[in-house]
Structure 1
């Protein structure tokens, strides 16, 4: 799985199904953003089988990734940082990954415990008509579909923070 590149369309309305493509523009799965009013999603393979889900548990700012049976396989949470964005993803396999981005950048690096980049994602345009997330997985240690659930979790945490800031709530 060396340097697997995937693309996920960014749904403008933040609800409904969107396709997951590989670098050859071949559909390999789908992402279902359940509703514009709730922050949850499912990731499906090409045959329509549910692989993973992501959601915020009730009254929590942590993004949980679960397998098709509902078992937790990882947890994403934001870390406090000045002039950058930082997140930590704890996989139940015992691994942890740091996700970071410089201020105002659209590029996020996913680093392992040894500070080695294992994946990266960024919001790009031009591949399709609407903006997409481009995910490059450089390792076989973490599944690309799991990384998609994590990437979308980062996006949902950012939306929550923005919504709280806009409403005057300072919750992080």
Structure 2
């Protein structure tokens, strides 16, 4: 069994019961007046049955009115709560959309920054490779030149030894 919904409190727990209790009391009083008038119009021997039946009817009517008042108040409370939740949901959706836009712009900014860094590193790498290639080419040329001089020197020495041996 579920408990009745919590109504907004104005001061005490009695404020929740005030509406249904007032409805119950009003219905019982009206039914009591109708029963009293009806009992006065009925002969004495039937009065007891009319009063007892009227009292039961008055309590049942009062209960029905109390339940109806509680239902109306509960429906109002639930409607207000639903409107509040709907407003909260709308606010949260707007916040989510704002955050999504913010995230998208941040992602775009970071992507651009990353792209710039990668391009700068690629340029640095290309420059470094070109420098190393140029240095390598110069070294190879220097080695080839040194090799040719050494070969020429050795060829002269070799030719000089052969000439010395041939004498």
Larger radius of gyration: 2
How high is the TM-score relative to the length of structure 1? Answer: 0.20
TM-score by length of 2: 0.20
